[in-house]
Structure 1
C-alpha cells in the first residue's frame, strides 16, 4: 500500500526575506535603550558621587573617573538587554512584577557590593530609596523601549 505524502510547501505562500530595515528594528531599539540606560546611570552616578552620597573605592581608571565606568558602560547595558528580552516575552500583567523583582535584586546587589568594598554610601543614605529608584529607572527604560518600538513600526508601515 502506497501512501502519498502531502508536500508542505505546495499550499504555503512564498517566503520572502524581510527587508533589512525591518529585520533590524528591534536591534536598533535594544541598542538605543541600552545607551539611554548607560547615560542615565552615568549621569546619576556623577551627580550622586559629586554630592558625596556614595563613592566607588575600587574602579577602573580611578585617576580619571570618579564613577565605576565598568558598571555604567558594560554591566548596565547588558542588564538592560536581558531585562527587555524577558519583558518582551512575558505576559503584560507580569511585567511590572518582574520589574519589581529586578529592582529588589539590584537593591540586594547594591548592599552586597557595599559589603565587598566596591561601593560605599554616606551614613545618610537610605537603601529603601534605592529600591524605589531602581524600580522607577526600570519603568522609564521599559517605556522608552516601547515608545521606540511603536515609532519604528509606524515609520516602517509608512515606508511600505
Structure 2
C-alpha cells in the first residue's frame, strides 16, 4: 500500500482534516428530543390514520419510518441549530419559515416517490404549522439547555 506524504519542498499547505461543522455536542439534547417527538407524533398520526409510510424499514415491527424520525430528523435539527446560531433572531425566524414552507413541498415529493401516503382529511398546511411550532420549540429548548449549562 502506498501512502502519499506532504513534500517538504512544496509551497502548498497540507490539507487539514475537516469535520462536520454542525456536529457539535451542544446540539445533541435538542436533536435527541426532536427524534423522540418526531417518532411519537408519527406514531400518533399513523395510529389516527392521517398518513402512512408504505416504504419503510422493518415494516413488520414499526408502522413509521424510523430512519427519518431517528436519523434524518435529528441530523436536520442539528444543521438547523448550527446555522440558526450563526444568524440574528430575524434570520433564524426566516430559516424557520423557509423550512416550514419547504416541508409541504417535500411531502408532496415523498408522496410521488411512494414513501408517504396521506388520508383525504390531511391538508399540507398542517405540516407547515406543525414544523413551524416544532422548530420554534426545539430552538427554545436548545437555548434553555445552553443557559442551564452556562449557569452550572
Shorter-chain TM-score category?
Answer: 0.7 to 0.9
Partner residue in 1 for 2:131: 134
> Aligned-pair distance for 1:104?
1.1
Partner residue in 2 for 1:54: 51
Rounded to whole Å, the distance in 1 between the matches of 2:116 and 2:56 is 9
Partner residue in 1 for 2:97: 100
Classify the secondary structure of the residue corresponding to 1:70. Answer: helix
The yes-or-no answer on 1:72 pairing with 2:88 is no
1:1-160 → structure 2 map (5 Å cutoff): 27-155=24-152
Partner residue in 2 for 1:6: none
Higher helix share: 1
Residue segments in structure 2 that go unaligned for 5+ positions in a row: 1-22
Residue segments in structure 1 that go unaligned for 5+ positions in a row: 1-25, 156-160
- Deviation by residue 1:76-135 (Cα, 9 ceiling, x = unmatched): 010011000000001122111110001111221111101111000000101111101110
Rounded to whole Å, the distance in 2 between the matches of 1:70 and 1:100 is 25
Work out the number of aligned pairs and report it. Answer: 130
- Deviation by residue 1:5-47 (Cα, 9 ceiling, x = unmatched): xxxxxxxxxxxxxxxxxxxxx9443111000000000000000
Classify the secondary structure of the residue corresponding to 2:110. Answer: helix
Rounded to whole Å, the distance in 1 between the matches of 2:130 and 2:70 is 19
Structure 1 residue ranges (4+ consecutive) displaced by more than 2 angstroms after TM superposition: 26-29
Q: TM-score normalised to the size of structure 2?
A: 0.83
